[in-house]
Chain A
Amino acid sequence: MRKVTVFPKSNAVKKEKILNVLLGSSVILLFLISWELLFQFRLVNPLFISSPSRVVLALITIIKDGSLQQNLTISAKEFLFGYGVAILIGFPAGIMLGWFKLIRAAFGPFIAAMQATPRIALMPLFIIWFGLGITSKIVIVLLSAIFPLIVNLQVAMSTIDNDLIHVARAYGASRWQVFRSIALPTSLPFLITGLRLAAGRGLLGVIVAEVFGGAAGIGYMIQYAGSTFQTDKVFAGVLVVAFTGITLDFTLDRLGRYFDRWRGEVAVH
């Protein structure tokens, strides 16, 4: 009896999933088709809006002449450097802020103030200090990515289950052992969330910094194409950035699910 009632249910879930994917993709498709039609029938000045087919052509062109790879490499370098340093500093800093009351009291207000400052507004200063090269972009990425990490790990430390600490202490755990066996595992899902937010902010940082004052990179490529009315190339650049962002987020989400597999409800097998 039970099985009979369970089977149609799981089937219904599957059907709903398929329907959701169909609905989602058809809206995107509809958008692309109307965009292309808008262009083909010259309803809007083609110079302004380009079209999906022309964007694809532009993409092929910049891949063929190697300019995409060249700019992408530079942007990736800026991003990875800044992101990496943000992790190296942000992870321990967030943990320490959450773990030690005095450190939180000392640095909390300073960090809150830093976080409230719009980083990109400091770009002119960074250009004066570090020049138009990749260093100023790395600094922007670092400052964009570090705060979500610090904040998330600080929050992680405040969510530690006190009963577990009680148990650890009852078994004679030292402070370091409590930290390693309870605080660190607790912080892992928060670290992943922090990494996802930081990746998004960091990516934004790279592009804005390059658009704002760069001599190379995807952001610079977009900016240059825009100022010379190469709308196709602008869209191609945006597409590359969006694709990178989605890939990065998807990877980190998967990583998060893997580390969260003890939590039942989001189990992956």
Chain B
Amino acid sequence: MTEATLDRPVKLSIKDLVVGYLDKQSGHTMVAVDKVTLDIREGEFVTIVGLSGCGKSTFLNAIAGLVKHQHGEIRVNDRIVNGPGMDRAVVFQKASLLPWRKVGRNITYGLELSGMKQAAAREKASYYVNLIRLNGFEDHYPHQLSGGMQQRVNLARALACDPEVLLLDEPFAALDAITRELMQNELLELCEKVGKTVLMVTHQIDEAVLLSDRVIIFSSRPAYVLADIRIPIERPRKSLIKDSEEFRQLMNEIWRVIEGNANIGGGI
């Protein structure tokens, strides 16, 4: 998959993206993301890692259209996007399910917002409900589910929209260590099955290496690209690869870049 994606068309193209935000204390506009250029090809899984607060979530929110960017452009399928749209779907760190909707109607929420009738939305979502093994839970309320299950509903809600690009914002950060490992494996399996184009943000280096075709390292604030590291591990992958020498070396390589930047910038 890794080699094969090289000659595929570019799905998500980001050029010279600058994102600022208003610092309420000082009243100044601060730069969170500084001239980031990034191309993601169809079916590629790209992960951004960096210290917390480095601006990687802001970057993802800008791509989702939730935050305005000051400069540069974002293209999906070579079409400039401004603001949120159905071609991108976000999985946030918090499951943020609508507590008064049952699981089934939470999964179809995105589709319903796009104007689809309930029955048609359910029909369309059913493929992912099966794939994420949520069938049988459609009539549960979110509070009846564990954190891991809620996050799966969150993922299903995003996939049901069948987006061009799936955006994952530290999707497993709020889960306990065991559930997180299980979810990583499940996402790995899922992505290899559906072949979606994915852009993920995380601060777990092992998670990044396990899941990605490429790992992009962001500097501390303002964020720019420090390194773009290809993960040449064969697919399909198993979580067992975490024990391999190759995996460890990749993790080391990424860690050294992050560490070097933190020392220079005095970022911590």
Contacts and interface: CB of A to CB of B under 8 A. Distances in A.
B100 A163 contact: no
Nearest to B141: A262
B66 A264 contact: no
Contact of A264 (B84, B92, B109, B144): B144
A182 B109 CA distance: 11
Contacts of A163: 92, 94, 96
A180 to B, nearest CB: 10
A169 interface: yes
B18 interface: no
The bracket for how many chain B residues form the interface is 20 to 34
The bracket for how many chain A residues form the interface is 10 to 19
Interface in B75-108: 84-86, 89-90, 92, 94, 96, 98-101
A159 B84 CA distance: 24
A167 B99 contact: no
B109 A171 contact: yes
A166 B98 contact: no
A181 B109 contact: yes
B178 interface: no
B221 to A, nearest CB: 21
B29 interface: no
Given A262-B141, A263-B143, A171 B89 contact: yes
Contacts of B114: 171-172
B240 interface: no
A161 B98 CA distance: 10
B66 A166 contact: yes
A170 to B, nearest CB: 4
A171 B116 CA distance: 13
Contacts, number: 56
B161 interface: yes
B64 interface: yes
A262 B143 contact: yes
Chain A residues touching B, majority SS: helix
A269 to B, nearest CB: 13
Contacts of B99: 262-263
Given A169-B66, A262-B141, A264-B144, A182 B98 contact: yes
A185 B100 contact: yes
A75 to B, nearest CB: 36
Contact of B64 (A170, A177, A185): A170
A262 B143 CA distance: 8
B113 A173 contact: yes
B142 to A, nearest CB: 8
B148 interface: no
A172 B92 contact: no
Given A164-B96, A164-B98, A172 B66 contact: no
A164 B86 CA distance: 17
A263 B114 CA distance: 27
Nearest to A177: B113
B196 to A, nearest CB: 17
A238 interface: no
B222 interface: no
A168 interface: yes
B110 interface: yes
A210 B57 CA distance: 63
A166 B97 CA distance: 11
Contacts of A164: 96, 98
Contacts of B98: 164, 181-182, 185
A262 B100 contact: yes
Nearest to B169: A170
14 contacts: A163-B96, A164-B98, A167-B92, A169-B66, A170-B89, A171-B86, A171-B89, A172-B113, A188-B100, A262-B100, A262-B101, A262-B142, A263-B143, A264-B141
Q: What are the 10 closest A-B residue pairs judged by CB atoms, nearest first? A: A171-B110, A163-B96, A262-B100, A170-B90, A264-B143, A172-B84, A185-B100, A262-B141, A167-B96, A173-B113
Interface of B: 64-66, 84-86, 89-90, 92, 94, 96, 98-101, 109-110, 112-114, 141-144, 161
Given A167-B96, A185-B98, 4 more contacts: A167-B90, A262-B99, A262-B141, A263-B143
